């Protein structure tokens, strides 16, 4: 006998979304309107009321965290069941491949390659091909390889399937250009270890379903109901997979909020959501518009903000919660003042009995946590970095600190961390030999290295340059300011160049932030490197003990789907948020959606803050346009903004937008264009990332690369 399941406190729209189980269904759910809850209730309804087995329901969530939370809540209703098909697309693909990858001649225990594995493969290819930073960076190459896999999702698997290792090798030897060679070498390396990277998971699964009718039929029979959460951030390939899987029974349910699309850079597109009813003409659309989460004041500010976007699906949300205070905004004179204000507000809340765990602090980029963490630690406020790692625990920061420690302490731990980063050909065997030598002569590893610099053991390594960099820092630190000495070390050790070669912008931002911390410390002429390191050690050790009730710090991307009674959005500065890295007006709209996601996480109180000063790129910081987009009347200004700041901001916005407009590609391959000097020509290729076209002008023998802004429509 089955339980019937449908709670009393759901509204009419939610009920429709839960009980419309057959066919294609699209639910457009505004922020805080109970989308997650509806999805859970729908799952329980399918199982308890309709009697469908969980093994016949695929419910795709955006993150593992969301899947686990959903399973937990479903189990609370249905009891302990196997809910393996409540999972992310990736986790589902792993399950499918475990069952069926043998059709591709891969073993069931194939290896899933993570980002570090991919970088290692590329590092090997770089070495084999003799590539350097002058050619490209690992990150850029990785992006290109992954992009190529998206673009040629079927053909590269044809190659993996049809060619054996020797044939793949022959293919890369005959490659037409460098990029093709890198890509083919990459395929070769991954096939050699039966590796499957993140992109392959979905591509392999789709390819198998498309090429093997028996396998397709099995999975289509199984997936009687397919539900996709956070559909606004689903990529074309994921959508295709969901369509394939629901191909037989036709029960495809999608739910999401187009205003919360924040992953366009991973391939999600508003259009997939908006055009769903054209792809499925019989689709039923349900809109959830009652916001249960936020006070009317918070919702009005968020709605006012998102209405500034041009491309959107208009909808009006209404709040049912009782009225509360307006969002409070503080403009600080420095990032330290900003962090102090956040801390003071949190302390006031805690004094009033608010638990630390009901407070979320959100920011656009990881590097912004440094100042917050320092102020939190100094004020003994318990916190946890919810997404990612505490600032002083991050790999690149630890590496640099260990380099500095090589000068102050020269200890073995710092040595082991730095001696082969960047790679200097000092591997495990050599380290063992140095350890033995050190034990015999009662020396540290560094001293042992120094004593053996001219021996055969270290021939062919770059041990000398390592020692030279550390010695140079040792000498300079007496005469140079701490920040200059640090820069010398970063240059001479090759560490910064190494990071640039990796090309990971987040890591470079963290290093820039560390330099700022050193600069600040260097303002005190008496401060020593030892003092600085001792101070940092304090920041890093405190975090080790687990505290139950902590303020959560996180990037906005990882705050997706979360809610907190009290939400702080920090670092609201032009160039930080919206990020300076965006290159089109569409991306500006995505930044605004991100701001919308951030604001709608707040249930009772919302706090916004920014700081004057200079940004990572040394430009003057202005308050973010998003503060004004939310409507001046909807925000309580703790300090009034000076007129000069507002005019400066408006000028910066206008100039920035004009530049963004110019950076958007307006023409396509084969379009005729006109140039003020070269005259007429034809577009040969479009390079979005660097904002230029390759153009073959009628009057010139060879092509020219021309910036987007310099061309007009031709005859
Ligand atoms: N019918 C209802 N009555 C009262 N509260 C509700 C109802 N439905 C949902 N809620 C509450 O509203 C809040 C938001 O719900 P939920 O997290 O499911 O929203 P969401 O649409 O997934 O939000 P977002 O997309 O912004 O992350 C939760 O605290 C939830 O418990």
Strand, helix or coil at 614?
Answer: strand
φ and ψ of 531, to 5 deg: -60, -45
Nearest CA to ligand 1 atom 4: 292
* Of 163, 193, 223, the domain-final residue: 193
For 80, phi then psi, to 5°, come to: -75, 100
> Of 259, 288, 317, which one is at a domain's C-terminal end?
288
Q: Is residue 214 part of a domain?
A: yes
- Decide: 195 and 117 in contact? Cβ < 8 Å: yes
Number of domains in the chain: 5
159, 193, 227 - which closes a domain: 193
DSSP secondary structure of 337-378: HHHHHHHHHHHHHHHTT--GGGEEEEESSGGGHHHHHHHHHH
Mutate to test the pocket of ligand 1, among 36, 260, 561 (most ligand atoms within 8 A of CB): 36
- pLDDT score, position 544: 45
Residues 123 and 87 in one domain: no
Q: 280 and 426 share a domain?
A: no
Whether 421 and 536 map to the same domain: the answer is yes
Q: Which residue has the higher pLDDT, 617 or 393?
A: 393
Torsion over CA: 667, 670, 676, 680 (sign): negative
Q: What is the pLDDT of residues 243-264, one digit of tens each?
A: 999 999 999 999 999 999 888 7
Residue 623 has pLDDT above 70, yes or no: yes
pLDDT band at 655 (very low <50, low <70, confident <90, very high): confident
If you take atom 7 of ligand 1, which residue's CA is the nearest one?
Answer: 34
Q: Ramachandran region of residue 380, left (φ > 0), alpha (ψ -120 to 50) or beta?
A: left
Structure tokens that stand for 227 in this block = 């539900």
Classify residue 293: in a domain, yes or no. Answer: no
- Flag whether pLDDT at 118 surpasses 80: yes
pLDDT, residue 1, reads 41
Domain containing 441 equals 392-540
**178-192 helix and 115-129 helix, angle to the nearest 10 degrees:** 130
Which residues on neighbouring strands pair with residue 225, listed in sequence order?
57
State which of 257, 260, 293 you would mutate to test the pocket of ligand 1, scoring each by most atoms of that ligand within 8 A of its C-beta: 293
Tell me if 217 is assigned to some domain: yes
| Residue 460 counted as domain residue | yes
Torsion of CA 109, 115, 118, 124, to 10 degrees: -130
Q: Average pLDDT of 158-170?
A: 85
**CA 141 – CA 189 distance, rounded (Å):** 15
512 shares a domain with 421: yes
Residue with the smallest CA separation from ligand 1 atom 5 is 292
625 and 561 belong to one structural domain: yes
Which position has the higher pLDDT, 692 or 602?
602
What is the spatial distance between Cα 638 and Cα 642, in angstroms, rounded to a whole number? 13
Residue 643: inside a domain, yes or no?
yes
Please identify, by atom number, the ligand 1 atom nearest to the C-alpha of residue 600. Answer: 26
537-540 contacts, C-beta under 8 A, 24 or more apart: 538/377, 539/373, 539/374, 539/377, 539/390, 539/391, 539/392, 540/390, 540/392, 540/393
Binding residues for ATP: 29-36
Q: Do 348 and 224 belong to one domain?
A: no
Distance (angstroms) between ligand 1 centre and the Cα of 255 equals 13
Distances (CA, A) of 549 to 45, 356, 359, 530: 35, 6, 10, 33
Determine whether the shortest distance from the Cβ of 61 to ligand 1 is under 6 A.
no
CATH code, domain carrying 512? 1.10.486.10
Whether the Cβ atoms of residue 198 and residue 224 lie closer than 8 Å to each other = no
Looking at residue 580, what DSSP letter applies?
T
Asked whether the predicted pLDDT for residue 25 surpasses 50, the reply is: yes
In whole angstroms, give the CA distance from residue 468 to residue 491.
Answer: 12
End-to-end CA distance of the chain: 74
450 and 384 in a common domain? no
Residues 506 and 588 in one domain: no
pLDDT for residue 543: 47
Per-residue pLDDT band at 60 (split at 50, 70, 90): very high
Supply the pTM of this predicted model: 0.80
CATH code of the domain containing 315: 3.40.50.300
Measure 28 CA to ligand 1 centroid, in angstroms: 14
């Amino acid at each position: 006998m089955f339980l019937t399941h449908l709670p009393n406190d759901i509204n009419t729209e939610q009920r429709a979304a839960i009980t419309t189980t057959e066919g294609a269904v699209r639910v457009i759910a505004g922020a805080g309107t109970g989308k997650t809850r509806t999805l859970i209730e729908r799952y329980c309804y399918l199982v308890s009321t309709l009697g469908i087995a969980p093994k016949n329901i695929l419910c795709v969530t955006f993150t593992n965290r969301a899947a686990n939370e959903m399973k937990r809540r479903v189990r609370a209703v249905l009891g302990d069941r196997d809910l393996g098909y409540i999972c992310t697309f990736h986790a589902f693909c792993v399950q499918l491949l475990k069952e069926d990858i043998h059709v591709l001649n891969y073993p069931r225990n194939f290896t899933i390659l993570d980002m570090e594995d991919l970088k290692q493969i590329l590092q090997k290819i770089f070495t084999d091909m003799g590539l350097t930073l002058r050619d490209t960076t690992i990150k850029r190459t990785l992006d290109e390889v992954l992009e190529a896999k998206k673009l040629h999702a079927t053909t590269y698997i044809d190659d993996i399937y049809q060619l054996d290792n020797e044939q793949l090798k022959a293919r890369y030897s005959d490659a037409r250009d460098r990029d093709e060679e890198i890509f083919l070498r990459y395929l070769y390396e991954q096939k050699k270890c039966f590796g499957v990277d993140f992109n392959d998971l979905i591509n392999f699964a789709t390819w198998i379903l498309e090429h093997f009718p028996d396998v397709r039929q099995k999975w289509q029979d199984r997936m009687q109901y397919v539900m996709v959460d956070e559909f606004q951030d689903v990529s074309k390939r994921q959508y295709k997979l969901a369509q394939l899987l629901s191909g037989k029974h036709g029960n495809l349910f999608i739910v999401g909020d187009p205003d919360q699309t924040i992953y366009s850079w991973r391939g999600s597109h508003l259009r997939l959501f908006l055009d769903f009813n054209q792809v499925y003409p019989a689709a039923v659309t349900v809109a959830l518009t009652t916001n249960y989460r936020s006070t009317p004041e918070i919702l009005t500010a968020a709605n006012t903000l998102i209405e500034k976007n041009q491309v959107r699906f208009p909808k009006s949300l209404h709040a049912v919660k009782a009225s509360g205070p307006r969002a409070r905004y503080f403009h600080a004179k420095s990032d330290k003042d900003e962090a102090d204000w956040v801390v003071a507000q949190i302390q006031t809340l805690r004094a009033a009995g608010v638990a630390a765990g009901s407070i979320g602090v959100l920011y656009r980029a990881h590097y912004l946590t440094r100042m917050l963490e320092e102020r939190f630690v100094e004020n003994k406020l318990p916190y946890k970095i919810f997404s990612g790692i505490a600032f002083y625990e991050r790999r690149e920061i630890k590496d640099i600190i260990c380099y500095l420690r090589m000068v102050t302490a020269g200890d073995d731990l710092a040595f082991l961390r730095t001696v082969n980063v960047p790679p200097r050909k000092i591997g495990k065997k050599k380290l063992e030999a140095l350890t033995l030598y050190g034990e015999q002569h009662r020396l540290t590893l560094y001293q042992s290295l120094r004593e053996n610099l001219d021996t055969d053991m270290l021939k062919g390594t770059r041990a000398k340059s390592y020692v030279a960099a550390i010695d140079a820092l040792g000498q300079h630190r007496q005469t140079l300011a701490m920040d200059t000495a640090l820069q010398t070390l970063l240059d001479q050790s090759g560490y910064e160049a190494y990071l640039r070669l990796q090309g990971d912008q987040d890591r470079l931002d963290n290093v820039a932030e560390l330099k700022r911390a050193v600069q600040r410390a260097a303002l005190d002429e008496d401060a020593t490197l030892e003092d600085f390191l001792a101070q940092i050690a304090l920041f890093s050790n405190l975090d080790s003990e687990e505290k139950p009730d902590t303020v959560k710090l996180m990037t906005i991307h990882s705050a997706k789907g979360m809610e907190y009674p009290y939400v702080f959005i920090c670092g609201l500065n032009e160039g930080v948020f919206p990020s300076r890295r965006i290159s089109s007006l569409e991306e500006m709209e995505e930044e605004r959606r991100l701001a919308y996601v951030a604001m709608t996480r707040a249930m009772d109180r919302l706090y916004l803050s920014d700081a004057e000063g200079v940004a990572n790129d040394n430009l003057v910081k202005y308050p973010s346009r998003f503060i004004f987009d939310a409507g001046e009347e909807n925000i309580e200004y703790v300090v009034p903004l000076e007129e000069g700041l507002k005019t400066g901001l408006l000028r910066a916005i206008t100039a920035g937008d004009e530049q963004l407009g110019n950076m958007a590609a307006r023409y396509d391959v084969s379009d005729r264009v006109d140039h003020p000097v070269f005259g007429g020509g034809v577009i040969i290729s479009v390079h979005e990332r660097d904002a230029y076209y390759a153009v073959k002008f009628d009057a010139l023998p060879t092509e020219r690369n021309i910036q987007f802004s310099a061309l007009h429509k031709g005859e």
